[in-house]
Chain A
């Protein structure tokens, strides 16, 4: 697989040359492979949002290079708009960017800017609406009549309709109830699986990242603290906790069990895997595993 985004020694400084100059990104290098689902996590102010706004040229690096699909974004003669169509960026609270009379027109705003034909635009709008679970009836209504969760899905569909090669989402589930959260995130996952498009998901929730991503990029104070597969990152749970990040609840339980002296692995981050691990431990120490009927087995 080839790298879809490659970042080399990227630094970004706010207010350079002023007394209050601060480095938002400090000498960052990494690459994202085509088709990956990358979760980006880090505490507030660690540079996550600044990093992703570099992916389509909304911020110009103070130093360093960014390659998207092999092209140097800031090279002489490159058109930034090409990169905006290659990298679809969904901001935090994207519903505040809606402006058209109908949802369909709003979703069509991006494709229209790409100069596509009417028929192609209509196809993309219908497809993006299907991916985000918007009814055809909703598409003809004003976006301002919809509920918060529906508005959010219209905004995400607006970026999906541009059919970017990388979809970057900054906290797409922020401020939604648990149900709306799961709906949106699983729609994004289904979209990723069906189209094979690279997805970068910024999130505060370790549970969400554990559930959907296959690689995790951990940011800390303008630098990359870790960038690895989900298993390997969560195996370093104590370090994550030291960075002020949380780990999934199951991982916390396993860490505590290990502290109590049980010989179990700590790279457990999903509930199904946790059950399997517990059963394996039981078999090794107490003979055949008890049946799970009538509730989960008690460890002690």
Chain B
């Protein structure tokens, strides 16, 4: 169950996608999400899915990982598509009518488009974390947010918090598993029972987990202070991000491809 969580998981590799400047990857991912929601017709959505498949292929990330990352949000996708199915009213004759439920062709169309969009959204953002190590990713975010430091936004601190949060996800998952096993060994019922019983059964897990999280935070803060951490000011980096010619090329190619997807909206509006 807990091993299904793939957020922040990184699959090292040496492909163009892996080596690309992380800042570019973040910008392209954001642009991709925008384009995904602007592409209103099936052709555009199909093209953006194709683009995603191509990138996964280049990065040599197995496609089954997409399924794995989708598993936790499957209920959300189902819920939204059911809502869309019943609440979108359109022209034409209803396909189905019973009591207060009416399904229009537009509803079906919208429900399918929306779920495909969400799937592509998750798969696209997962590709970013699969191909970029958390440290590099936060470096890139810090670098991208740098201009906001002038507005007194604590950019370095935000980036550091993200790094720490990402770093501790696997540790805390591991810890949760251990605590669950220990309480199960004492006869705690975690897998079955009524809803209220299951909520109550969480207490013996959450309390030790929070305590251990605070303990770890305390230890980490101490360790950082011991190594003279004093915030971002005057801090130098081991690896400076460099925007190379290859990155420029990748950026141009990505812009063109996303442009193509957008163009479908203008060129074939009737579809």
Contacts and interface: CB of A to CB of B under 8 A. Distances in A.
B184 interface: yes
B184 A99 contact: no
A212 interface: no
B186 A110 contact: yes
Contact of A88 (B179, B181, B185): B185
Interface string A41-70: 000000000000100101000000000000
Contacts, number: 55
A254 interface: no
Interface string A73-87: 000000001001100
B187 A97 contact: no
A94 B187 contact: no
Given A84-B184, A158-B186, A97 B179 contact: yes
**Contact size range, B:** 10 to 19
B183 A97 contact: yes
Given A58-B181, A91-B181, A91-B182, A99 B188 contact: no
B188 A113 contact: yes
B249 interface: no
B72 interface: no
Contact of A53 (B181, B183, B188, B208): B181
Interface in B182-213: 182-189, 203-204, 207-208, 211-212
A89 B185 contact: yes
Given A98-B208, A99-B208, A109-B204, A81 B185 contact: no
B204 A159 contact: no
B181 A96 contact: no
B205 to A, nearest CB: 8
Contacts of B212: 96
Given A53-B181, A58-B181, A99-B203, A159 B208 contact: no
A96 B179 contact: yes
B186 A159 contact: yes
B178 A91 contact: yes
B186 A113 contact: yes
B208 A162 contact: no
B175 to A, nearest CB: 8
Interface in B149-190: 175, 178-179, 181-189
A81 B187 contact: yes
Given A99-B204, A99-B208, A109-B204, A94 B182 contact: yes
A144 interface: yes
A91 to B, nearest CB: 5
B58 to A, nearest CB: 21
Nearest to B204: A99
Interface in A119-135: none
Contacts of A94: 182
B187 A85 contact: yes
Contacts of B175: 96
Contacts of B181: 53, 58, 91
Nearest to A155: B182
Contacts of A98: 208
Contacts of B207: 99
B189 A81 contact: yes
Interface in A141-184: 144, 158-159, 162
A262 interface: no
B185 A91 contact: yes
Given A99-B207, A109-B204, A144-B211, A58 B179 contact: no
A114 interface: yes
17 contacts: A58-B181, A81-B189, A84-B184, A84-B185, A85-B187, A89-B182, A89-B185, A91-B182, A94-B182, A96-B182, A97-B179, A97-B182, A97-B204, A99-B204, A99-B208, A113-B188, A159-B185
Interface of A: 53, 56, 58, 81, 84-85, 88-89, 91, 94, 96-99, 109-110, 113-114, 144, 158-159, 162
Interface of B: 175, 178-179, 181-189, 203-204, 207-208, 211-212
Given A84-B184, A84-B186, 10 more contacts: A58-B185, A81-B187, A84-B187, A89-B182, A89-B185, A99-B207, A99-B208, A110-B186, A144-B211, A159-B186
A-B residue pairs, 3 tightest by C-beta: A113-B187, A99-B207, A97-B182
